[in-house]
């Protein structure tokens, strides 16, 4: 039916003509006479004029309907007819349209994925922020409550001079712990904000490790650990880095190995310097202590993260909980990386690279 608009126009004219005629006839019947009487006498109704006018209105409406139908068909369906009749000619056009639709779909999907990723990142940042505040509160609460307890006891009046001195020493140690925590947080904040300027120079890596082992000698002896030097102490392994910051790296890793060492005899601390190519050395700090579980390996470099609380609680491990986070940022600030390999109950190995001097 739509392919013959003239038929539709013909039916519109046939149906509309009588309707218009009767409407106009009714209107004339409602016209008042000269004396105001209704209805108008039938003999006075202008039948010829009504018929001609209704025929004209119906014909004009039919022609207008045909024109509009043809315009709709040609504007909306002409392209489809052309493609069907000659698909090869319009294949390029069809492919271009498909490509445009595909691009729109890809852009919409990309936008949705981007917003989803942004939302996920915001949620992760919020979780990290809340966890950081909770951990910081925990780390500060312990020394603060300890100091409060010692000070209140002293205020109550402790006459024994020896006990008073012991309480003051314990309060002082907790104050020092809080100071170390604040200092470590300051260093970490500057490292994360790229505000810490490295003072690089050429120095001996071997000498640096020997100095660190000497500083930790009392703790190593107290823990009963055997130190294994897998390098030649007399060989000068020259490196180019910030010696003060790299001291923090070496001391933190050695301290970490001591803290998580075995309680029973047979524990050892191994430090190795290996050649990692023409431009760098690799330093390894290994222990055979309590190790780290697989579920904790990915988080050991996070702030305040200490792994399995049940293992760390039994060893009464101290520290600020920021050491490994500082190690990671210092090594990365030098353009290198730090790695960890560990098995729970067998030990842990930390390794990092450093540029040769």
Residue 128 pLDDT more than 70?
no
Cα 298 from Cα 219, distance rounded (Å): 28
pLDDT band at 171 (very low <50, low <70, confident <90, very high): confident
pLDDT band at 240 (very low <50, low <70, confident <90, very high): very high
Cα 294 from Cα 313, distance rounded (Å): 19
Report CA-CA distances (Å) from 169 to 125, 172, 231: 40, 5, 40
pLDDT band at 81 (very low <50, low <70, confident <90, very high): low
Residue 193 pLDDT more than 90?
no
Tokens standing for residue 311: 């293992």
Cα 5 from Cα 13, distance rounded (Å): 12
- Give residue 349's pLDDT: 92
Phi, psi of 88 (to 5 degrees): -65, -35
Residue 113 pLDDT more than 60?
yes
pTM reported for the whole predicted model = 0.54
DSSP per-residue codes, 164-214: HHHHHHHHHHHHHHHHHHHHHHHHHHHHHTT-PPP--EEEEHHHHHHHHHH
pLDDT band at 197 (very low <50, low <70, confident <90, very high): confident
- Give residue 262's pLDDT: 79
pLDDT tens for each residue of 273-323: 999 888 999 999 999 988 888 887 877 887 766 554 444 444 445 555 677
Residue 231 pLDDT more than 80?
yes
Which domains are present in the chain? 5-85 (no CATH), 130-192 (1.10.287.130), 201-355 (3.30.565.10)
- Give residue 315's pLDDT: 47
Residue 145 pLDDT more than 80?
yes
Cα 46 from Cα 306, distance rounded (Å): 106
């Amino acid at each position: 039916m739509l392919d013959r608009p003239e038929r539709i126009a013909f039916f519109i004219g046939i149906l509309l003509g009588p309707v218009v005629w009767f409407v106009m006839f009714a209107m004339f019947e409602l016209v008042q006479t000269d004396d105001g009487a209704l209805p108008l006498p039938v003999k006075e109704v202008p039948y010829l004029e009504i018929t001609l006018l209704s025929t004209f209105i119906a014909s004009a409406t039919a022609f207008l309907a045909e024109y509009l139908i043809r315009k709709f068909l040609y504007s909306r369906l002409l392209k489809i007819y052309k493609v069907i009749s000659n698909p090869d000619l319009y294949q390029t056009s069809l492919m271009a349209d498909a490509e445009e639709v595909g691009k729109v779909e890809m852009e919409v999907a990309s936008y949705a994925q981007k917003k989803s990723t942004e939302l996920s990142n915001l949620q992760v940042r919020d979780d990290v922020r809340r966890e950081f505040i909770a951990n910081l509160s925990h780390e500060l609460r312990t020394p603060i409550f300890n100091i409060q307890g010692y000070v209140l006891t002293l205020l109550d009046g402790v006459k024994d001079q020896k006990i008073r001195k012991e309480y003051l020493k314990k309060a002082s140690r907790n104050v020092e712990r809080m100071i170390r925590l604040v200092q470590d947080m300051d260093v970490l904040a500057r490292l994360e904000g790229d505000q810490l300027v490295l003072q690089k120079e050429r120095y001996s890596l071997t000498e640096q490790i020997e100095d660190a082992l000497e500083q930790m000698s009392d703790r190593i002896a107290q823990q009963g650990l055997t130190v294994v030097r897998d390098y030649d102490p007399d060989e000068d392994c020259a490196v180019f880095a910030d010696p003060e910051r790299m001291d923090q790296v070496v001391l933190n890793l050695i301290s970490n190995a001591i803290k998580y060492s075995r309680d029973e005899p047979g524990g050892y601390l191994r430090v190795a310097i290996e050649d990692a190519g023409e431009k760098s050395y690799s330093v390894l700090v290994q222990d055979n202590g309590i190790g780290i579980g697989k579920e904790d390996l990915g988080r050991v470099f996070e702030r305040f993260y200490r792994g399995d609380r049940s293992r760390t609680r039994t060893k009464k491990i101290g520290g600020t909980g920021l050491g490994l986070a500082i190690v990671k940022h210092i090594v990365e600030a030098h353009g290198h990386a730090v790695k960890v390999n560990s098995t729970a109950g067998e030990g842990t190995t930390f390794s990092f690279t450093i540029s040769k001097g």
